Amino acid sequence: MTGEDREIKEEYTTSFDDIVGQEPLKEYFQNAVRTERMANTYLISGAKGSGKSMMAEAFAAALLCEEKTGVPCGNCPACSKFRRRNHPDYIEIQHERPKLISVEDVRSQLVEQIGYAPSEGEHRIFVIENAELMNPAAQNAILKSIEEPPAYAVIMLLTENPDALLPTIRSRAVSLEMKPVRVEEIEKYLISKYALPDYHARVVSQFSQGNIGRALLLSESEDFRKRKEKVTRSIERIRKSPEYQIEEIIGDFLSEGGKENLDECLNLILIWYRDVLLYKATGSDRHIIYREEFAQVRRQAENESYQHLNKVLLEVKETQDRLKANMKAESALNLLFLRIKGDK
């Protein structure tokens, strides 16, 4: 079974350049290889889609590479084998049960195997993805391997939740965290790597929460595109409809999947009004996120006051707070939509 950061791939990552952002971590691992000062156990944490697997693969490729420059050369026999997923000294712990890594899994694939010297080169690398899925017995089983590892062994534990691991494991590992990536870096990556239109890359990167995996999912998500269209359509409808139709608009808004994705929809409204206010203030579309709907943004900016736009922005944030305080969605949206409808 594979990890959470990626689908089954035909080839492993063999270049740090494939990883968006994370410059301090990349430099840390490259220096470790160059200076030959590696820890025996690394605990790499980060949200789903943050690139933990890619970072582990790039580090492993650099360790196994015959050139030992800190980055995988991509051309030597070791790099070729690693890229094709058949290097004998790179072992990913497999588990049959999707939500559990058992003591049998780690014992047969790590504990009983770590004593064997590398087949090729200088290192033998063991990777446990979703390490938080190890039950207490499995975690205790790998403790001795972590406490007294052979010099050639490198163990990498990848996890969304490091606190789910035993303190004795955490204390013996070098803990590293995948940080959120800057929005600008994600936007640039989506445009250059996947040829996304700049307006689409801009919206997706704003909603990625600094997570490249989430950005890639959103860039291909038909549901996200529909939510974006629903928000712009609803704003226009609220502005043009009489007040007595607000309740009907709320019903339509929630019936189209809005209830399950309400916070995301509110963030879309927030960005919309930020665009309108920005265009009103600057007269430029340079930093507009809703580029496809720019004509609508411009019309609204021309017809609404700074005071009204700022009040709506504050109301969106207050709506998010009300929902966190468990106010009913219908009631919270009624207050927001009335504000959108209010004096311009």
What would you report as the CA-atom Rg of the chain, rounded to the nearest whole angstrom? 25
pLDDT of res. 257: 58
Alpha helices in the chain (DSSP H): 23-35, 52-64, 77-83, 103-106, 136-147, 167-172, 183-194, 198-206, 212-219, 222-240, 246-253, 262-282, 294-303, 306-324, 329-341
Q: What is the pLDDT of residues 143-181, one digit of tens each?
A: 999 999 999 999 999 999 999 999 999 999 999 999 999
Do 146 and 282 share a domain, yes or no?
A: no
Q: Total domain count for the chain?
A: 2
Contact in structure between 212 and 188 (CB atoms under 8 Å)? no
Strands, sheet with 124-128, edge to edge from the N-terminal-most edge strand: 90-92, 124-128, 153-159, 41-45, 174-177
Q: Is residue 264 part of a domain?
A: yes
Examine residue 7 and state whether it is found in any structural domain, yes or no: no
Q: Are residues 148 and 263 in the same domain?
A: no
Of 33, 20, 155, 15, the closest CA to residue 82 belongs to 15
My answer on whether 127 and 21 are in the same domain is yes
Long-range contacts of 85-88 (CB under 8 A, 24+ apart): 85/9, 85/10, 85/11, 85/12, 87/120, 88/119, 88/120
DSSP symbols for 286-311? TT-S--TTHHHHHHHHHHS-HHHHHH
Q: Which domain holds residue 254?
A: 221-341
CATH number of the domain to which 72 belongs: 3.40.50.300
- Can you name the residues that pair with 124 across neighbouring β-strands? 153
- Same domain assignment for residues 38 and 159: yes
> Within this chain, do residues 173 and 234 fall inside the same structural domain, yes or no?
no
Stretch 249-255: mean pLDDT, rounded? 87
287 and 153, same structural domain?
Answer: no
Q: Are residues 239 and 296 in the same domain?
A: yes
- What is the C-alpha to C-alpha distance for residues 83 and 96, in angstroms, rounded to an integer? 24
Chain segment 48-61, per-residue pLDDT in tens = 889 999 999 999 99
Same domain as 32, residue 150: yes
How does residue 1 score in pLDDT terms, banded at 50, 70 and 90? very low
First to last CA, the chain: 56
| Residues contacting residue 167 through CB under 8 Å, at least 6 positions apart | none
Q: 182 vs 112, 205, 330, 341, CA distance in Å?
A: 42, 9, 34, 35
Of the residues 177, 205, 234, which one is the last residue of a structural domain?
Answer: 177
Instruction: Say if residue 118 is in the same domain as residue 252.
Output: no
Section 326-344 average pLDDT: 90
- How high is the pLDDT of residue 138? 96
pLDDT digits (tens, 9 = 90+) for 175-228: 999 999 998 999 999 998 888 888 788 888 888 889 888 888 888 888 888 888
**Does residue 183 fall inside a structural domain?**
no
Which pLDDT belongs to residue 13? 64
pLDDT over 80 at 103, yes or no: yes
Q: What letter does residue 178 receive in the DSSP assignment?
A: P
Residue 33 in any domain: the answer is: yes
Between β-strands 124-128 and 90-92, what pairing exists: parallel, antiparallel or unpaired? parallel
158: three-class secondary structure by DSSP: strand
Q: Which tokens hold the place of 136?
A: 């207490």
243 and 163, same domain (yes or no): no
Residue type, 112: E
Residue 198 lies in a domain: no
CATH of the domain at 237: 1.20.272.10
If asked whether residues 132 and 273 sit together in one domain, one would say: no
Q: Does 310 map to a domain?
A: yes
Say if 5 falls within a structural domain.
Answer: no
Residues 145 and 285 placed together within one structural domain of the fold? no
Task: Provide the pLDDT confidence category of residue 8 given band limits of 50, 70 and 90.
Answer: very low
**Is residue 32 in a domain?**
yes
